[in-house]
Amino acid sequence: MGIFKTIIKGDRVIWTIYLIILTISMLEVFSASSTLTNSLHEYWRPFVRHFMFLMIGTAVVIAIHFIPPKFFRMIPVLFIPIAAILLIVTPFLGVKANEATRWLSIGGIQFQPSELAKLAVITTIALLLSRMKDDKESINLTFKVILIITFLFCGLIVPENFSTAGMLGMISFIMMFIGRIPIIKLAITTSIIGAVLAILLFVLAPVIPRDTPLLGRLPTWTERLSNHSEGITPETDPKIVFNDDNYQVSHSKIAIATGGVFGKFLGNSQERDFLPQAYSDFIYAIIIEETGLIGGTFVLALYLILMFRAGILARRCSRSFYAFLLMGSTLVIVLQALINMGVAVSMLPVTGQPLPLISRGGTSTIMTCVYFGIILSISRTTSSDEISGEDKEVAPPGVKLVNEKI
């Protein structure tokens, strides 16, 4: 017990949520990996790989949560140029999978540069907002700089990963809203972005060939939005041919429908043998099939409690940079979880976003653990005496600058 107290610091609620999600991840990935075990002819290999990434990720959480939050100010300086360069070269040197080139392979290790970009952009926005003053000139300058950085990285990500670019854009705008950027500015910018997207998706997409560089995935996005909005599936229209998108959506619906209230119990899923991404993008459907509405609601509640707890911690941060970074890191996890669940229950079109920490993954698992480490590192400052009086920042509305125990 003494060892745990020495190793594990920070907010106990966040740690509890992390460990529960970790447990769910191991159980469900083990249960949902039947398609992988059949193709690999090795029963334990997928689970062992996932378990190794979770253990590496936990080591990352422990290591990062011991780092004083003031050092996170160095992330923009270190990672903004690196992330930009990697995103630029990915379409040309990356690994193509599922009609998109999102991965880079260095030394045999594949990773998504967009994950590094999200961390760099969110930290940069937190730093800019924390240094913004209350005068009009400072607000306008901060808003313009944040827009430039957001559009630059979203522009580099969007050709191959529309959902990640959209999610990063949403997180940026939510952080600006929290950071007291005037609503009128955000509303005007959102309207302009919406108009541009409408032109791209509904005017240009129908006439753009699929092999067009950078814009070739526009028709794919339009088809997904159109099919989702009209509810078109192979079941509703016999003319529709099964493909990766509607095939998975159809079997995801079956999994959810047959799960009922209490589910079929762990290990008894049938749709895991039909869903190619049962252990990844559609693992939430398997969770509902095996644990029912009760289990699905419990998993959703974990992420919502994480968001709620982060809000409490942000209000008690000693500096506004910590509060903004805490909220930004939490938004990445929670918003991605909500998107994944929305896709699984057919509320959103297929996006390819994994369920944070639960879905089987490599880069996404490690990066989620990085965000948990940052959250826990900042949570330590709310109950420690390490904060000095220097470099104090102006708190945003609703953020109470105190140094007390939770």
CB-side neighbour CA atoms (13 Å) of 74: 6
pLDDT at position 266 is: 86
Q: Tokens at residue 23, please?
A: 């447990």
- Report the C-alpha gap between 323 and 358 in whole angstroms: 26
Q: Tokens at residue 61, please?
A: 């959480």
Number of Cβ within a 10 Å radius of residue 346: 17
Q: Which of 350, 318, 146, 345 is nearest to 228 (CA)?
A: 350
pLDDT at position 87 is: 92
DSSP state, residue 20: H
pTM: 0.86
The 3-state DSSP class for residue 185 equals helix
- In single-letter form, the type of residue at position 226 comes to S
Q: Tokens at residue 115, please?
A: 């994950």
pLDDT at position 205 is: 63
- Report the C-alpha gap between 252 and 81 in whole angstroms: 40
DSSP state, residue 183: H
List the beta strands (DSSP E) in 109-148: 109-111
Per-residue pLDDT of the chain (406 residues; tens, 9 = 90+): 566 677 788 899 999 999 999 999 999 988 887 666 665 666 677 788 889 999 999 999 999 999 999 999 999 999 999 999 999 988 888 777 666 677 787 777 788 899 999 999 999 999 999 999 988 999 999 999 999 999 999 999 988 788 899 999 999 999 999 999 999 999 999 999 989 888 877 766 666 665 555 555 666 666 666 666 655 555 555 545 555 556 778 888 888 999 989 999 988 888 887 777 778 888 999 999 999 999 999 999 999 999 999 999 999 998 999 999 999 999 999 999 999 999 998 888 888 789 999 998 888 899 999 999 999 999 988 755 333 333 444 444 444 444 333 3
**Residue labelled with tokens 């253990």:** 55
- Report the C-alpha gap between 233 and 223 in whole angstroms: 12
pLDDT at position 395 is: 46
The 3-state DSSP class for residue 402 equals coil
Backbone torsions φ then ψ of 396, nearest 5 degrees: -75, 165
Residue 343 CA: distances (Å) to CA of 31, 273, 285, 329 = 20, 19, 9, 22
- Report the C-alpha gap between 245 and 219 in whole angstroms: 14
Can you say whether the dihedral through the CA atoms of 21, 22, 27, 33 is positive or negative? positive
pLDDT at position 397 is: 45
- In single-letter form, the type of residue at position 309 comes to R
- In single-letter form, the type of residue at position 184 comes to I
pLDDT at position 269 is: 84
Q: Which of 260, 161, 139, 292 is nearest to 217 (CA)?
A: 161
- Report the C-alpha gap between 286 and 346 in whole angstroms: 14
For strands 109-111 and 100-106, give the pairing. Answer: antiparallel
The 3-state DSSP class for residue 234 equals coil
